[in-house]
């Protein structure tokens, strides 16, 4: 739910009180949760990427894949791991994991990058960083990914929209998202 912090005060028992202003209707949930102990998380709101931005990215992926003779899946994986955003946990820590070297990481999650190889008790493991999938990206992250895809397309002589058209697309995406806010 989207909202804003309005006030912070200290009670007589030295506990902090936070006043929130929210955009949705919370009355039913308030009555249900009023006296319950809650787990509360407050984080900065980020706009999700738009469907039109995603569609444009897939047009670029398709053009790049055809030009290079690669699958769209492989091109998207490369773009996300080169120009996308690292996944973070709720504490802002980068997400990663290790697997036995014999395991194909792409059968588990497609957007990873190997950053280390380790031997433990005679077994070889690969360590991976995890990148956000496109549906998890906000508008800034998606714009960065699309800019990377445009750069790759241009490197291979693939026609893309003009900088003016791309700027109009980005402006349009931002206006559509503001309407939904």
Return the residue matching tokens 């006296």: 35
Please, are residues 24 and 43 in contact by the beta-carbon 8 Å criterion? no
pLDDT of residue 127: 98
Residue 45 scores a pLDDT above 80: no
Domains of the chain (ranges; CATH) run: 51-180 (1.10.3790)
Residue 173 scores a pLDDT above 70: no
Phi, psi of 26 (to 5 degrees): -110, 5
Average pLDDT estimate for 129-153: 93
Question: Where residue 49 falls among pLDDT bands split at 50, 70, 90?
Answer: low
Say how far apart CA 62 and CA 122 lie, in whole Å. 43
At 62-99, the pLDDT tens digits run 999 999 999 999 999 999 999 999 999 988 999 999 99
Question: Where residue 100 falls among pLDDT bands split at 50, 70, 90?
Answer: very high
Tell how many helices (H) and how many strands (E) occur in the chain: 5, 5
Please indicate, yes or no, whether the overall pTM of this predicted structure exceeds 0.75.
no
pLDDT of residue 122: 96
């Amino acid at each position: 739910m989207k909202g804003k912090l309005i006030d912070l005060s200290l009670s007589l028992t030295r506990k902090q009180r936070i006043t929130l202003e929210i955009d949705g209707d919370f009355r039913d949930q308030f009555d249900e949760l009023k006296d319950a102990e809650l787990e509360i998380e407050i984080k900065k709101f980020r706009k999700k990427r738009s469907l039109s931005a995603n569609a444009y990215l897939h047009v670029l992926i398709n053009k790049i894949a055809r030009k290079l003779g690669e699958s769209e899946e492989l091109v998207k994986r490369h773009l996300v791991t080169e120009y996308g955003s690292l996944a973070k946990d709720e504490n802002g820590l980068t997400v990663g994991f290790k697997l036995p070297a014999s395991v194909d990481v792409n059968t588990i999650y497609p957007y990873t990058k190997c950053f280390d190889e380790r031997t433990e008790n005679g077994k070889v493991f690969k360590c991976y960083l995890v990148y956000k999938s496109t549906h998890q990206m906000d508008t800034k992250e998606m714009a960065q990914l699309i800019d990377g895809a445009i750069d790759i397309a241009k490197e291979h002589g693939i026609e893309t929209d003009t900088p003016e058209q791309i700027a109009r697309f980005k402006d349009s995406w931002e206006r559509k998202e503001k309407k939904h806010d």
